[in-house]
Structure 1
């Protein structure tokens, strides 16, 4: 498995994988993915077609209500918008490798925390446990306009 920069050549399988998991991450099409990648801090894939990661920083041109929640409350963070691993590849440490690489890059670039949200309604207990094991802690909650409830999480990068 190799983790590399997400490129246009990856779009077809990334869109398919994203849409197979849209309950957790939201719908994805070529235009949306183009905008996400162009505005992102770090967009990566695990090859061959195993998973992807898309992140943003406070100055990114992105208007997701979850991202905005963090922008209004924090500085010097990297926001994980989407991290998706193919069902057949789960449990192999791919998401952990994405996060470990992100922690290293973000810390090297002077960011102080990595943040994300996890669905609380509908619940996502696997993601809750995974993020807790990586050192994420809850920092807030919200109910979105679509009725979904989320818990906001943060992991400090300070030593």
Structure 2
């Protein structure tokens, strides 16, 4: 979909404080695929992020970090150990009723445009393999992401695959 054909409520915008509780609830509804967010956690993620956007109506969000961020995620560190310049997508969250409407694709297009403008050559993310997330794998592959590594994360023995998009 061309940017001018994007529905107005899907265009990425800074995360609004009035949507924090709702976005946290959407995140926590998929806690098996994402990390659980307690009160204040989302605000902390946003504070350190290079990219923190929501859909205009608050039905979706994306949070991403650049190299050099003060972020302790083992998945972020995996990319930091392998790339001098990168953007790591920590989470893409879309409300159940808003899925399939292009929110994720619009976020990635927006993030990629900003990364290219800044000379960042790679966007990275991780996708669950255990528990499996085949929808996310298919979505990311459609965007051009390729698998580039795997890890088992403790203490939950969560298996992830790392994916990257070369810009």
* TM-based fold match above 0.5: yes
Q: Give the CA deviation at 1:30.
A: 2.7
Kindly provide the CA deviation profile for residues 21-53 of structure 1, in whole angstroms up to 9, marking residues without a partner as x.
111111012321121111000100012121000
d(CA) in 1 for partners of 2:81, 2:41: 23
Match of 1:81 among 83, 90, 93: 90
- Structure 1: gaps (5+ residues): none
Residue of 54, 60, 64 corresponding to 1:55: 64
Q: CA deviation at 1:131?
A: 0.3
Q: SS at the partner of 1:153? A: strand
Counterparts of 1:7 and 1:61, CA distance in 2: 23
SS in structure 1 of the partner of residue 139 of structure 2: helix
TM-score, L = length of structure 2? 0.91
Cα deviation code 1:60-83 (max 9, x no counterpart): 110001111111111211000010
Matches within 5 A, 1:3-152: 3-145=12-154, 146-152=156-162
| Helix, strand or coil at the partner of 1:54 | strand
Distance in 2 between residues matched to 1:29 and 1:7, nearest whole Å: 18
Q: Which runs of structure 1 show a deviation greater than 4 angstroms over 4 or more consecutive aligned residues? A: none
Equivalent residue number for residue 4 of structure 2:
none
Structural RMSD (CA) = 0.9
- 2:27 is paired with a residue whose SS is helix
1:8 Cα deviation after fit: 2.2
How far is the alpha carbon of 1:125 from its aligned partner? 0.5
Runs (5+) with no aligned partner, structure 2: 1-8
TM normalised by structure 1 equals 0.95
